[in-house]
Amino acid sequence: MQREGKLLRELERYLSSNKIILKMKYIKLFILFFIIIINFSCKEKLKENNFKKNVSETGETSILRHKNKDSLKLTTNNQISKYVRNKNESARDFILRINNSNIDLNHPIIETDNWIKNENIIIVFKNIELTNDLGNNVTGNIYYSNNKVEYKKVKIDTYEPEGNNANIETIFFYDVDGDFKKELIILCSWNQRIKEIAEGKLFQTFIYDNLKPNNTKIKLLYLERESDYFGIEFDGIQDGKLVTAKFKTAKSIKNELINLKGKK
């Protein structure tokens, strides 16, 4: 009986100690679950703050006019980006301000009222530095407004390096497709230098359909067939011989377009 009583007491102590261990396991699991919840909450808050920071820095969300003429109000939706131009603000100052003065222009800013009826147009080409010293992309954007206060933005295109960075040579408008509306024409070049082989420039013509202010698309339509007609040309010294590009000025491209119209 004494031996059985001793065994019973040992069993009780064993069960009691295991209850404590079991309780500790539950406590540890609860603490771990609490830490996971806190971490998840912090990450979500960080994402929200980063999103707000990105919106304020890039201006890639809609901006609506506020009561104060000099203030901007950001709204996040799927509409085309909008920007408010201050009273008497030049096109250059407007573009610099909405880019936080952090912009490397590839071509002088163009402002015109003579492309699209009742629309003020600002055309901007800027250099975007690539990583790993791969050069720059050149990105073109159009800002347009029917009241010179609230502007919408539409992308033209991105021009990548071809041996060297792209340079915007000239920008002009011409009715290419005969719809009595002028298309946007961009002449782009790339400096080329291959030792003892070639030195000069590559030229390429890019043609885009006319801007449609009521359209919700965020990029101009690239007219591939019309652009490909002009091809890619080299101008300079190649294998010791002088090579001249046929289409390396706005005048030469316009003259060719006039000739093509006359043949139709």
> Residue 195 — pLDDT band, cuts 50, 70, 90?
confident
Same-domain status, 131 and 18: no
Same-domain status, 52 and 66: no
Mean pLDDT across the stretch 130-149?
A: 92
Same-domain status, 109 and 31: no
**Number of domains within the chain:** 2
Mean pLDDT across the stretch 26-39?
A: 50
Do 210 and 146 touch, CB atoms closer than 8 A? no
Give the residues across from 188 on adjacent strands: 168, 204
Same-domain status, 204 and 75: yes
> Residue 215 — pLDDT band, cuts 50, 70, 90?
confident
Is the predicted pLDDT of residue 141 greater than 70, yes or no? yes
The residue out of 58, 78, 104 marking a domain boundary is 58
Residues 6+ apart with CB under 8 A from 190: 161, 162, 163, 164, 165, 166, 167, 201, 202
Same-domain status, 41 and 67: no
Question: How large a percentage of the chain has pLDDT more than 70?
Answer: 69
Do 145 and 119 touch, CB atoms closer than 8 A? yes
Q: What is the DSSP string of 5-33?
A: HHHHHHHHHHHHHHHHHHHHHHHHHHHHH
Location of structure tokens 């295109």: 157
Query: What tens digit of pLDDT does each residue of 160-177 get?
Result: 999 899 999 999 999 998
Same-domain status, 13 and 102: no
> Residue 47 — pLDDT band, cuts 50, 70, 90?
very low
The pTM of this model reads 0.69
Domain region containing 161: 62-263
- Lookup: tokens for 43: 């990450």
Is the predicted pLDDT of residue 133 greater than 80, yes or no? no
Return the higher-pLDDT residue of 37 and 168.
168
Same-domain status, 159 and 93: yes
Same-domain status, 142 and 106: yes
Do 123 and 171 touch, CB atoms closer than 8 A? yes
Same-domain status, 105 and 225: yes
Give the residue from 161, 155, 83, 165 showing the smallest Cα distance to 123.
Answer: 155
Do 102 and 79 touch, CB atoms closer than 8 A? no
Q: What are phi and psi of 118, to 5 degrees?
A: 65, 20
pLDDT at 12: 56
Same-domain status, 34 and 122: no
Same-domain status, 156 and 43: no
Return the higher-pLDDT residue of 144 and 29.
144
**CA pair distance 220, 153, nearest whole angstrom:** 11
Which amino acid is it at 186? I
Same-domain status, 72 and 135: yes
The residue out of 14, 37, 58 marking a domain boundary is 58
The residue out of 13, 31, 58 marking a domain boundary is 58
Return the higher-pLDDT residue of 26 and 75.
26
